[in-house]
Amino acid sequence: MQTPYFSDASGQLRCVVPTRCCAGSDGSECRVGLHDKRARKSGPGFELWVARCHRHGLSFTLYPAGFVPYGRALLAPVDPQGRRVQPGEPQAEPSLDSTMWGAVADAAAAQRWPEQDEGHGSRRTQGRRLLWASLLLGLSSPPRQREAVASALGLAALGLHEAASAYGMAKTWRSRAKVVMGVVLQVLSGGGVEALLRAGAVAGLWGRPSRWDPGGLRLRALF
């Protein structure tokens, strides 16, 4: 489950505690409280809270916007509250350096990461992210699943089929990465985070995503 994280007046990082768990989405009563903190070696770069619903006997990790379970990098350039991180220039493309797409953008620019991890990531990590991106966007999926991914991303199925064909014919990292970037920039230009979360679930990369809506005080399934 995703929920906003924010800094309080003393500078301490806190999260918005949901009042419902996934089992309470049918309207049944929940009793949710913070249970423990979970250290992370990668990903958000700070400890995540684990919540527990004492009514349904469920424990679940609260992730900040843009992160998924075991994810090492953001899906889109957003802050822990889910607000879009704007690039420096008004007409510039979204900043991807802090996201998983940074590896793909570098590959598209013929910038291969080093063989050994020097703090930024290794060539092996870059290759994994390129492959993972193709699965997330449906570029290496069967046609029927690709159509479902296209719907989740808000893209035309025909356009995604054409991109998948180009990806399949590409012979190098750089050419494959260029195809991936063409698709993901379309997605990010329309907002991106929720669309990518939906697509990942359709592609089988994670379970059905949900987000706590503090304004509406409800757990909102993203599809």
Burial 20-29 (b: 16+ CB within 10 A, else e): bbbebeeeee
| Cβ atoms within 10 Å, residue 64 | 22
Residue 189: which of 76, 47, 111 has the closest Cα? Answer: 76
pLDDT in tens, 57-79: 999 999 998 898 888 889 998 88
Higher pLDDT, 199 or 46: 199
99 pLDDT more than 80: yes
Looking at residue 185, its pLDDT comes to: 94
162 pLDDT more than 90: yes
Distance, CA of 92 to CA of 35 (rounded, Å): 42
Q: How does DSSP classify residue 4?
A: -
Instruction: Report the amino acid identity of residue 103.
Output: A
Mean pLDDT, the chain, as a whole number? 89
Higher pLDDT, 210 or 41: 210
Domains of the chain, by residue range, sit at 5-69+208-221, 101-202
CA dihedral sign of residues 143, 144, 145, 149? positive
- Whole-model pTM? 0.87
pLDDT-derived band at 38, boundaries 50, 70, 90: confident
89 pLDDT more than 60: no
Looking at residue 202, its pLDDT comes to: 96
Rounded mean pLDDT, 40-62: 88
Looking at residue 118, its pLDDT comes to: 73
With a CB cutoff of 8 Å and minimum separation 6, the contacts of 115 are: 122, 123
Looking at residue 204, its pLDDT comes to: 94
